[in-house]
Chains A and B, each alone.
Chain A
Amino acid sequence: AQSVTQPDIHITVSEGASLELRCNYSYGATPYLFWYVQSPGQGLQLLLKYFSGDTLVQGIKGFEAEFKRSQSSFNLRKPSVHWSDAAEYFCAVGGREYGNKLVFGAGTILRVKS
């Protein structure tokens, strides 16, 4: 079955520390990959996306993600976390093999401690 795995349900980092959120997808020769962020009481905001080309993509709010086909991964990174980054982050995969939909991971809740 199609699946997206975010192995970390919760992550806590100190403000100013670096961050990496993990995402693995189950299959797809040409996946379209996304990271979304959800602040409490809000909808989902697109952070970045990968369709093709350079495997390191830059997004909003200082985030970046790297697509590694050999590992079926699309990990999200940020060099220095700010308290306002505390939110829930969702990885999602789409593309031809996934039909007309996005398949979402279960989400990772990020807590930032000062």
Chain B
Amino acid sequence: EAQVTQNPRYLITVTGKKLTVTCSQNMNHEYMSWYRQDPGLGLRQIYYSMNVEVTDKGDVPEGYKVSRKEKRNFPLILESPSPNQTSLYFCASSKIDRGHQPQHFGDGTRLSIL
């Protein structure tokens, strides 16, 4: 089954404690992306990757890092989380086609930073 898998689904943690949210896709997609969803703001892109070892900033990259060492994985790293990063996070992937638009989303990771 084609899917994008995020882990964990839920996490409550404290300010300053480094965390990583993993994302894996099994569709051999070149393009992967991270979004955060906040009420009234829709989804905003954090980082994206066009292929292995190619990453770039989205609209709200501050406080986040990513890496793309393998095609299937695209982890999101919060080196020093802060309460304003409390949000619902989605990973997405797509083939490089028609403007590289993400079409497959994970089920989301709800992060609470206390």
> Residues of A at under 8 Å CB distance from B?
4, 9, 32, 34, 36, 41-46, 49, 51, 90, 92, 94-96, 98, 100-102, 104-107
> B90 contacts A44, CB within 8 Å?
yes
Question: Given that A34-B101, A107-B42 are known contacts, is A101 also in contact with B48, CB under 8 Å in the complex?
Answer: yes
Interfacial chain B residues near A94, Cβ < 8 Å: 99-101
Digitize B92-110: 1 where CB-to-A-CB distance is under 8 Å, 0 elsewhere: 1000001111110111100
> Residues of B at under 8 Å CB distance from A?
4, 31, 33, 35, 40-45, 48, 50, 56, 58-59, 90, 92, 98-103, 105-108
Interfacial chain A residues near B105, Cβ < 8 Å: 36, 43-45
> What is the distance, in angstroms, from B51's C-beta to the closest C-beta of chain A?
11
Interfacial chain B residues near A32, Cβ < 8 Å: 98-99, 101
Query: Nearest chain-A residue to B42 (Cβ)?
Result: A104
Interfacial chain A residues near B92, Cβ < 8 Å: 44
* CB contact between B41 and one of A42, A92, A101, A106 (< 8 Å): that residue: A106
Interfacial chain A residues near B101, Cβ < 8 Å: 32, 34, 49, 94, 102
* CB contact between A100 and one of B35, B40, B100 (< 8 Å): that residue: B100
> A43 contacts B44, CB within 8 Å?
no
Query: Nearest chain-B residue to A9 (Cβ)?
Result: B40
Question: Given that A43-B107, A44-B90, A90-B42 are known contacts, is A102 also in contact with B102, CB under 8 Å in the complex?
Answer: yes
Query: Nearest chain-B residue to A42 (Cβ)?
Result: B107
Can you pick out 25 interface pairs between chain A and chain B where the beta carbons lie within 8 Å of each other?
A4-B42, A32-B98, A32-B101, A42-B107, A43-B90, A43-B105, A43-B108, A44-B90, A45-B105, A49-B101, A51-B98, A90-B42, A92-B43, A95-B99, A100-B31, A100-B99, A101-B58, A102-B45, A102-B102, A104-B35, A104-B42, A105-B42, A106-B40, A106-B41, A107-B42
Interfacial chain B residues near A42, Cβ < 8 Å: 107-108
